[in-house]
Amino acid sequence: MTTFTVNGTRRTIAAAPDTPLLYVLRGELELNGAKFGCGLGQCGACTVLVDGEPVFSCVTPVMLLDGRAVRTIEGLGSADAPGPVQAAFIAEQAAQCGYCIAGMVMRAQALLERDGDPDDDAILAALEPSLCRCGTHVRIVRAVKRAARAMAGKTTAGKVEAVR
């Protein structure tokens, strides 16, 4: 048995210790935001935060999570009340197919919790482990900048505004 917190709720999981976190999130807990992409920790579609740090949930065994805190995209907000990063990605229309977006949002969230005013290089470095094949990188970077301004109280993430 492994006990950890998911999106603020303490959970005890009976899965085998080597079961990937992604399988527990999607199967047992029905949190489907993190996606199965490559299964090798190379695409980032499965990214979640563990103790505030982005991890590939497809290669993270649940045995490593005992006593730790996991946050998924569902823990950032909802469709009716998206968090600042989610709202910024929506406002910038940063998703095309949307498959990578949950992982990108989670990496952006972790970055902005560490650095409230990242420059382009910091944003690109934080997002680099995640792959987007649709080519919305420019909109994704704009969304991270918009979210940074919103989290700093300089604007509203979902409001249409000029982006510099």
pLDDT grade for 158, boundaries at 50, 70 and 90 = low
Burial 112-124, CB ≥16 within 10 A → b, else e: beeeeebeeeebe
Q: Is the pLDDT of residue 162 over 60?
A: no
CA 121 to CA 101: how far, in whole Å?
Answer: 19
Give the total residue count for the chain. 164
**In the predicted structure, residue 130 carries a pLDDT above the cut 90:** no
| Amino acid occupying residue 116 | G
Instruction: Classify residue 109 by burial, with Cβ atoms within 10 Å: 0-12, 13-18, 19+.
Output: buried
Instruction: Tell me which amino acid residue 160 is.
Output: V
Alpha helical stretches, state H, the chain: 21-23, 84-91, 101-114, 120-127, 137-151
pTM: 0.90
Average pLDDT over residues 56-84: 96
Res 159: pLDDT:
56
Q: Which of 129, 72, 71, 131 is nearest to 100 (CA)?
A: 131
The reported pLDDT for the residue numbered 42 is: 86
More confident residue, 158 or 98: 98
pLDDT band at 135 (very low <50, low <70, confident <90, very high): confident
Mean pLDDT of the chain: 92
* Per-residue pLDDT reduced to its tens digit, 85-120: 999 999 999 998 888 899 999 999 999 999 999 999
Query: What residue ranges define each of the domains in the chain, with the CATH number in brackets?
Result: 2-75 (3.10.20.30), 84-151 (1.10.150.120)
Q: How confident is the model at residue 157 (pLDDT cuts 50, 70, 90)?
A: low
> Can you give the pLDDT at residue 76?
97
Query: β-strand 53-56 against 47-50: which pairing, if any?
Result: antiparallel
Look at residue 17 in the predicted model and tell me its pLDDT: 96
